[in-house]
Chains A and B, each alone.
Chain A
Amino acid sequence: MTAVTYIPDYAPPETYLNASHTIRSWLLTKDHKRIGILYMISITIMFMVAAGAAALIRINLLSPTGLLPQPLDYNKAFTVHGVLMVWWFLVPSVPTVLGNFLIPLMIGARDLAFPRLNLASWYLFVASAILVLGVVLFGGVDTGWTFYSPYSSLFSNTHVTLTIVAIFINGFSSILTGLNFIVTIHKMRAPGMTWFRMPLFCWSMYATSVIFVLATPVLAITLVLLAIERLLRIGIFDAALGGDPVLFQHLFWFYSHPVVYIQILPTFGVASEVVTCFARKRPFGYAAIAFSSLAIALIGFLVWAHHMFDAGISPYSGIVFSFLSFAVAVPTAIKIFSWTFTLHKGSIALETPMLYILGFMGLFTIGGLTGVMLATLGLDMHMHDTYFVVAHFHYVMVGGAVMGYMAGIHFWWPKMTGKMFNEFWGKIAAAITFIGFNLTFFPQYVMGYLGMPRRYYSYPPEFQVYHVLSTAGASILAFGYLLPLVYLLWSLKYGRDAGPNPYRSMSLEWQTESPPPTENFEHTPIISEPPYAYDLQLPMGSSAAMKLVEA
């Protein structure tokens, strides 16, 4: 196997970015890297729309009597925020951007198993995005992102069916992506890249893809049934026929609980990569991290009714689900311990990606622990549908998943674009995001515990101080998200050239040029070293993870 050397005086090598410049070559690309970039642009747009809806929510809640013209508008705001964030930002974020870009590079393949299917996934995503943005433009939807029947099926006057169709199409995009990843990881690994030499990011993506494939169809059929009930005004959740609205909740949450693991598992993978690289250490417990990803994927399917403790399920099944929900915290905790012990006695460099991941570890731990609080059947009776729940899931999703996504974008930005961003502004943005996030969401824990309900347009005046703190924090958080947009785009033109491996990572994707050529590697790599060989202490720029293998 060749060692890759970068010779700066030559004409710029052909990379996936400059291989061709026409729009047609981008829109009809089969290159997983280009598709990753296309996704990145798409989800950034959707994030901004969803964040706009969040702004409306926070502005409305500045006053106890609500500032939006009508309560219906507030319902639409939180529904649009939830729907867009879950399906058009969080679920795709790390898998479609970083997963698409990195998985073939990390396992030494030329592309994913089904490149055209990958492009089809993106087109399905874009079609669904256009449809849902149309819904938002033409009046929105007000059922809450959970679409509980019978309100969504029989009584809501908003564009529920169109939203359902958009989510259905989005679901297919997810399923095809997950399918692609599973087959790729099973069948396309380079010679010598055994399962236990794969980067932990690939293990996380594999577990995520299993959830994609097994959970999303349940959502698809449940939405079909809901649409039938809405269109035909007769359905299986209709109590007048003997149906049970709680069945909708069972079916909905069977998907929607695993979906939160789809949102967080990929960022666990990012964390494994960033922590090992910036602590210059092997991961503490590679097998533990790998198997705990699979365990989270499996046990995550067993806990869904903890969203329904007070919906009318039997208390016996409530006890069972509460216990299983405690169980799912165990593999997650194993990961946090593993990363912490990886950091211990490591040679830690506090670069921007590492700052984001450290924030991620702390905030996700808080969010996760409050999740265990909510899993406690007795406590949940009081805290369900309060701001405590809102704070919990924002801690894990924003403090966890979004910070992990930002960490990943920053970490692999040099690989994707060949440019280094401004490190100073990166650190500032990470700090601002951390401060803004805590100011936004910590008061929500307090007021939730004190009884402030969620999805309420107006509230008793004693909660106003918390809401004002929260909105103030949200403004800071918004600035923290806008800043990377500025300096990352700036770096595209003015950033210094990154070179193949600016962070001296031992992972395979760093052993080819930045940006990579279209075919990823000049020659198929042959792997003979264990992963994360940081203890070999090699000088900067060398690619020692792959040895020259004599024929």
Chain B
Amino acid sequence: MAEHEEEHVVSPLIYLAVLIALMLLLALTLVAAFVDLDKIMAGRNHQGTAYWNMTVAVLIAMLKATLIILFFMHVKYQPRVNWAFVMAGFVWLGILMTLSLADYMSRNYPPGAPKSAPFAPSPDFMRPPQRPPTNVPRASAEPAGPLISPGHSFWRHTDT
């Protein structure tokens, strides 16, 4: 009397086909990682983050995830409301990533703009690390110590 659908039993051949497709995509990912795509796309030696490589890697991963979700997780054979639940998590993650990155990518932009919190440290940040202080601030019962200063870390050690 209700909307009972037949329990759809997926053929193992489909699983096998999906597995082979996933392995092929894995191989493709590896090949793409070793080819400098930005050089090909931009045509010259480039500076900065390899955006094309990242995009391709993420797209292939999304394709693999889609295959797993549709077939191994049976979502292809399920009602629309389940699809909405699947998408919701990814959409919300997208919201988190987009709006957070919007902050970080717009800091100190354009040059000469009002300064946001300095993220890029001063050049001498990369100097060789120093010995940590011998008395650990937190082991004592005293109230909280001074604010952190650049270059201080509990584990900073020398090269020996």
Contact flag A246-B138 (CB < 8 Å), given A155-B145, A233-B154, A240-B152: no
Check if A250 is an interface residue, CB within 8 A of chain B: yes
Closest chain A CB from B128 CB (angstroms)? 14
Check if B78 is an interface residue, CB within 8 A of chain A: no
Contact flag A151-B116 (CB < 8 Å), given A218-B96, A240-B152, A302-B99: no
Check if B17 is an interface residue, CB within 8 A of chain A: no
Of the residues A151, A242, A250, A317, contact of B121 by C-beta under 8 Å:
A242
Give Cα A247–Cα B97 distance, bound, in whole angstroms.
Answer: 12
Give Cα A316–Cα B101 distance, bound, in whole angstroms.
Answer: 12
- Pairwise interchain contact B89-A241, C-beta atoms closer than 8 A: no
- Pairwise interchain contact B138-A155, C-beta atoms closer than 8 A: yes
Contact flag A312-B116 (CB < 8 Å), given A214-B92, A240-B151: yes
Of the residues A233, A302, A311, contact of B117 by C-beta under 8 Å:
A311
- Pairwise interchain contact A151-B144, C-beta atoms closer than 8 A: yes
- Note all chain B residues with C-beta closer than 8 A to A362: none
Of the residues B95, B114, B153, contact of A234 by C-beta under 8 Å:
B153
- Note all chain A residues with C-beta closer than 8 A to B117: 244, 246, 311-313
Of the residues A156, A218, A240, A244, contact of B148 by C-beta under 8 Å:
A240
Task: Encode B94-121 as 1/0 by CB contact (under 8 A) with A.
Answer: 0110011011101111000110110101
Check if A496 is an interface residue, CB within 8 A of chain B: no
- Pairwise interchain contact B116-A313, C-beta atoms closer than 8 A: yes
Give Cα A317–Cα B104 distance, bound, in whole angstroms.
Answer: 9
Task: Encode A52-67 as 1/0 by CB contact (under 8 A) with B.
Answer: 0000000000000000
Check if A315 is an interface residue, CB within 8 A of chain B: yes
Check if A74 is an interface residue, CB within 8 A of chain B: no
- The interface residues of chain B, by DSSP majority, are classed as loop
- Note all chain A residues with C-beta closer than 8 A to B153: 234, 238, 240-241
Check if A3 is an interface residue, CB within 8 A of chain B: no
- Pairwise interchain contact A301-B95, C-beta atoms closer than 8 A: yes
- Pairwise interchain contact B114-A315, C-beta atoms closer than 8 A: yes
- Note all chain A residues with C-beta closer than 8 A to B106: 314, 316-317
- Pairwise interchain contact A156-B144, C-beta atoms closer than 8 A: yes
Check if B12 is an interface residue, CB within 8 A of chain A: no
Give Cα A108–Cα B6 distance, bound, in whole angstroms.
Answer: 27
- Pairwise interchain contact A254-B151, C-beta atoms closer than 8 A: no
Give Cα A238–Cα B152 distance, bound, in whole angstroms.
Answer: 10
Give Cα A246–Cα B117 distance, bound, in whole angstroms.
Answer: 9
Kindly name the residue among A240, A241, A304, A312 whose own CB sees the greatest number of chain B CB atoms within 10 A.
A240
- Note all chain A residues with C-beta closer than 8 A to B70: none
Give Cα A320–Cα B109 distance, bound, in whole angstroms.
Answer: 15
- Note all chain A residues with C-beta closer than 8 A to B116: 312-315
- Note all chain B residues with C-beta closer than 8 A to A214: 88-89, 92
Give Cα A244–Cα B138 distance, bound, in whole angstroms.
Answer: 21
Of the residues B95, B119, B144, contact of A157 by C-beta under 8 Å:
B144
Which single residue of chain B is at the shortest CB-CB distance from A155?
B144
Give Cα A242–Cα B114 distance, bound, in whole angstroms.
Answer: 22
Check if A150 is an interface residue, CB within 8 A of chain B: yes
- Pairwise interchain contact B100-A250, C-beta atoms closer than 8 A: yes
Give Cα A263–Cα B117 distance, bound, in whole angstroms.
Answer: 32
Interface residue ranges, B against A (CB under 8 Å): 81, 88-89, 92, 95-96, 99-100, 102-104, 106-109, 113-114, 116-117, 119, 121, 137-138, 141-145, 147-148, 150-156
The 10 closest A-B pairs by CB, nearest first: A312-B117, A240-B153, A317-B103, A314-B106, A155-B144, A233-B154, A316-B106, A314-B107, A314-B116, A313-B103
